[in-house]
Structure 1
Amino acid sequence: MSKTTKLAELYKKAASLNEELPKELMEKLSIYGQILELLGGLWAAATKDWKLAEAKRRETIATIYSLDPEGTTKDREMKAEMAAAEWRRKEAEYEAEALRWKAAYLSTQEQIQILKKKYEHMKEVAKGGI
């Protein structure tokens, strides 16, 4: 089972729980913890892909630039940039993916904080507080 499939299952399971019942709220918090763990792994993997694509782009530029003594410096730079264009595109795609997972991770962290506050409020009301 892929991580994204597992995420979908966990989100569905969390959505089915009633946040007004303390037991289910705690279960939902536990599920969000599992979601956070998966998102962290996806964010890390996407960041790795992004940085590897960046390294490959830089390597391609350096290789073309240093091994092609023909032409002016500007010509050599342009050849190198053209040779690395595909890696630049991949780098942008992987960066976007990493940022997407980062945003999902941070959003989930915030959701967990909200659920914690809700649980604390439930405990206060149960004690006779506001």
Structure 2
Amino acid sequence: MPTKTVKLSAYYRAAGNLNEENPKDLIDKLSIYGKILELIGGIYGDAFNDWGMAEAERREIIANGIYHRPSVDGGETPSSDKKGEAAGELLAKEARRKEKKFEAEKERWRKAYDSTSEQINIMKKRYDHLVNVAKGGV
């Protein structure tokens, strides 16, 4: 089964072969862009989930780093001082980088969704204009 990004590429190729000056082709292109938008929405959802899971992992690493760090007085009480927080943050350094990569990917797909939605709106206006011109309007 093709991946979502492979399907996206195929849809973009199909849409690129259509003539926007022809109302039927434009309607077909709008239909394809609807499918593109649906796929991008799914990819965005997956990316949002990946980012959320990476954030949860980072928070867990920090919490474990603080909780399992020996207390200042040598007892069993977890450290809650600034050094404990810093130790937790240091342990989570790689997780934070991973989280930021997932966050960037999430944002990339959100922006792709928004721009595709705008392209669909522009094509709708273009179609309305073509129909109006075909009826003798301006």
For the aligned pair, the TM-score class normalised by the smaller chain equals over 0.9
The amino acid across from 1:128 in the alignment is: G
Residue 134 of structure 2 aligns with an amino acid whose one-letter code is: A
Which runs of 5 or more structure 1 residues have no equivalent in the other structure?
none
Q: Equivalents in 1 of 2:134, 2:99: separation in Å?
A: 52
Aligned length: 130
Quick one: which amino acid aligns to residue 15 of structure 1? Answer: G
Q: Percent identity, please.
A: 52
Residue 60 of structure 1 pairs with residue 69 of structure 2: no
Note the 1:40-51 alignment, pairs <5 A. Answer: 40-51=41-52
Residue 79 of structure 1: how far off its partner (Å)? 1.2
Task: Tell me by how many angstroms 1:69 deviates.
Answer: 2.5
2:14 alignment counterpart = 13
Q: Distance in 2 between matches of 1:106 and 1:78?
A: 38
Q: Which runs of 4+ in 1 moved over 6 A?
A: none
Summarize the alignment of residues 73-88 of structure 1 with structure 2, pairs less than 5 Å apart.
Answer: 73-88=81-96
Query: Partner of 1:93 in structure 2?
Result: 101
Aligned to 1:23: 24
Q: Which residue of 1 aligns with 2:132?
A: 124
Give the root-mean-square deviation of aligned CA atoms. 1.0
* AA in 2 matched with 1:50: W
1:69 aligns with 2:73: no
State the 1:75 CA deviation.
1.8
- Which blocks of at least 5 consecutive residues in structure 2 are unaligned? 73-78
Scaled by the length of structure 2, the TM-score of the pair is: 0.91
